[in-house]
Structure 1
Amino acid sequence: MRNYKLRRLSNQPILKTSDVKPSVEGFEVLGAFNPAACLVGDEVILLLRVAEAPKAEKGVLSIPLIEEQDGVPTLTVKHLAEPDGDYDPRVVTVHGKQYLTSLSHLRLARSKDGITFDIDDEPFLFPARMDESYGIEDARITHLDGKYWITYTAVSEHGPGVGLAVTTDFRTVDRVGMILPPPNKDVALFPRQINGKYVLLHRPMVSDIGKPSVWLAESEDGIHWGNHRFLFGGRGLTDPQYAWEGGKIGAGPEPILTDEGWLVCYHGADPGHAYSLALALLDKNDPSIVLDRSHEPLLTPELDWERVGFFPNVVFSNGWVQWPDSGKIWVYYGAADSGVGLAELVTD
């Protein structure tokens, strides 16, 4: 694999939480981050993950979620006493039941230059089913068969699963539904069929047996998936050199086909939950064959806005674009669950 590096194009975030308006009256935006990305004509399209919650009240935890009312999934707010002492800012357990402290949706942003974005005021995809009752998170976009396939993490009390929606113009969107049940996430579709099959990367979540890893699956129709195979896992469990991917691992945006093979961006997290970005290279005809992987992370949280935020010490990418004229690859990454940075993938 070529000697790739990720070079920041800005020392400041190109999008901040404060740039995004809340979509619900009485709510505030807690984070705008982890965008999916693609090129549509002469525009860069981002689908931001926007996390919202009711404005804070002292001593009260106001949990936004989707609940059924008269059989209809409806946005509601559950008011609970705030736990004593320190607690996870994202997840809280009350009376033995876990809740997310915010509700995420996908918000569309458009740009001509890939740097300055106009952000829609309304959601592009908002939780609308009970399997999305805790939110829609961390989308990936793949252009395939003349359509833009949007995979996303659909979260409910049953855990995170993988939802699919399809659009041709990013103005209207068709929801396909859940394609991988909980617990699973980090799904990236390949942008073409391989040996007559649709192919995706995914990350089944494990319990005491097994560790986080990236898997491969294939499909005849892009909806029903099988032939699931382990692809690669974090090496930090057995080699301290790779501690940066010893805690968690998962695929990023859709793979890009190069003359060497399929280039895959992935994230790794260390046991202290600091996230970094790295690359893997897969065989172009048989992506179950891993040809190479990064020996060290290409991007780590170093700048203040990558280290301090709603969830600190995170650089996380689920969106990149390859400019057709120059071949340059721009990587959009979420930083500390609070903003969006931009880097370019370069080689020596």
Structure 2
Amino acid sequence: MVKQLCLLFLLPSLLLAQAKPEKPWMLGPFQKENAYNPILDAKSGTTFYCPIRKETIQWEQKDVYNPAAVVRNNKVYMIYRAEDTVRSVGGTSRLGLAVSTDGIHFSRMPKPVFYPDNDPMKIYEWEGGCEDPRVVESPNGVYVLTYTAYDGDKARLCVATSRNLTDWHKQGLAFADDRNSWSKSGAIVCKRIGNRLVAQKINGKYWMYWGDQPQLRLATSDNLLHWTRLETSTGQPVVAAESRKGKYDSRLIEPGPFAMLTSKGILLIYNGMNADQNGDDNLPKGAYTGGQLLFDANDPTKLIDRSKTYFIKPDQPYEMEGQVNQVVFLEGMVPFKGRWFLYYGTADSKIGVAVANQ
């Protein structure tokens, strides 16, 4: 009887261990760490002297979400978006830094490491702030951050660099030739080298999937700093993938943490938004869930395969209700201690993590 009870108790975890992702090229299956989630949320009392407002504010008092992550010195470093309550509509966003030895329990640094300042980027970053970081490494060990600058009217994709994750140099707009178009969410193609995700050239160029549209777009670069939108001979954007009627990504698709070269091709975890009409009837309208795309390793424009359904969705109270309801937004992922740690924003309010075996 004792043996039978033990087997019954272990059955759910055994089934989970035996589960497979939807398709053999996909990562997963991922399991949310619900015993610990949310692993980070808003915090009162941490203060920062804002050089623009010229006053001390509680910089992460409103919401904390949408993190990037890297492994450095055998620790997970999370760069997360935090909002204050000062701005009249929403909050100004800054980027904080937290460190973990197990990928789940994090210690935060008391002040943001990246924020709007009285610098040349102020015109683009104030007063909406610096949003939604994604990080890879350059081949020579420099961290390359793509982030969204928001001036309260328009989002613009930007680039910054650092050697230590605390001291950052703003490199400017990713698309400097077009300062007046909406752009965001840049996921650079990289290759896993140990626990590092290192940007990798394909056909002599670095590549990036970007955008939050019904169509996923592409850009290329010689140096990871200055990017050129990929266009057809008639000047139209090259479309890497599109939203699908009746599916979880029926309204828009938006890149996740990064795009990764694998033995099967370029794998991109992405965020799909459900449309109000002609979407997935089993999901709430406007819900954000996660899917996966596979592109040709020698031709990043060529879509080989994609997930038929989502592999993660909002199903916890803090994912279903918050600043924006019904959201899991995937933005950070690292290989760490034999597992993949996938970090995501929950309802634009808190941060969760899901794990999968490597």
TM-score range, shorter chain: 0.7 to 0.9
Rounded Cα–Cα distance in structure 2 between residues aligned with 1:251 and 1:20: 33
Question: CA separation in 2, counterparts of 1:139 and 1:311?
Answer: 18
What runs of 5+ residues in structure 1 fail to find an aligned partner? 55-61, 64-99, 206-210
- 5 Å matches for 1:1-348? 1-2=23-24, 4-11=28-35, 12-18=37-43, 21-23=46-48, 25-27=56-58, 29-54=61-86, 63=88, 100-128=89-117, 129-133=122-126, 134-145=128-139, 146-180=141-175, 181=179, 182-190=181-189, 191-203=199-211, 212-226=214-228, 227-228=230-231, 229-236=238-245, 240=246, 242=247, 244-271=248-275, 272-323=285-336, 326=338, 328-345=339-356
Cα offset for 1:171?
A: 2.7
What is the letter of the counterpart of residue 109 of structure 2? D
Distance (Å, rounded) in 1 between the aligned partners of 2:106 and 2:355: 18
2:144–2:224: 8 Å Cα contact kept in structure 1? no
Q: Deviations over 1:152-199 (max 9, x none)?
A: 000114400011110111132111011134301111112211111111
Q: Which has more strand, going by share of residues?
A: 1
Deviation (angstroms), 1:281? 1.1
Q: Structure 1 residues 174 and 301, CA, compared in 2 at 3 Å: closer, same or farther?
A: same
Equivalent position amino acid for 1:230 in 2: V
Structure 1 residues 267 and 19, CA, compared in 2 at 3 Å: closer, same or farther? Answer: farther
Equivalent-residue separation in structure 2 for 1:43 and 1:289 (angstroms): 35
**Matching residue of 1:91:** none
Cα deviation for residue 23 of structure 1 reads 3.1
3-state SS in 1 of match to 2:85: strand
- The answer (yes or no) to whether the contact 1:7–1:346 under 8 Å persists in 2 is no
Query: Helix, strand or coil for the counterpart of 2:185?
Result: strand
Residues 235-254 of structure 1: per-residue CA shift (max 9 Å, x gap): 12xxx2x1x21122100111
Q: Distance in 1 between matches of 2:153 and 2:225?
A: 21
Secondary structure of residue in 1 paired with 2:83: strand
User: Are the structure 2 counterparts of residues 337 and 31 from structure 1 closer, same or farther at C-alpha, using a change threshold of 3 Å?
Assistant: same
Q: Distance in 2 between matches of 1:224 and 1:281?
A: 25
SS in 1 for 2:112: coil
Structure 1's consecutive aligned runs of 4 or more residues displaced over 4 angstroms after TM superposition are none
Q: 1:289 to 1:307 in 2, by over 3 A?
A: same
Residues 232 and 10 of structure 1, relative CA distance in 2, 3 Å threshold: same
What count of residue pairs does the alignment treat as equivalent?
A: 291
TM-score by length of 1: 0.79
Which protein, 1 or 2, shows the higher relative CO under an 8 Å CA cutoff with sep ≥ 6? 1
For the Cα contact (< 8 Å) 1:30–1:310, is it kept in 2?
A: no
Unpaired stretches in structure 2, ≥5 consecutive residues: 1-22, 50-55, 190-198, 232-237, 276-284
Q: Percent identity over the alignment?
A: 29
TM-score, structure 2 as length reference: 0.77
- Considering only aligned residues, what root-mean-square deviation do their CA atoms show, in Å? 1.9
**Amino acid across the alignment from 1:50:** A
Q: Distance in 2 between matches of 1:224 and 1:126?
A: 21
The answer to whether the Cα contact below 8 Å between 1:330 and 1:342 also exists between their aligned partners in 2 is: yes
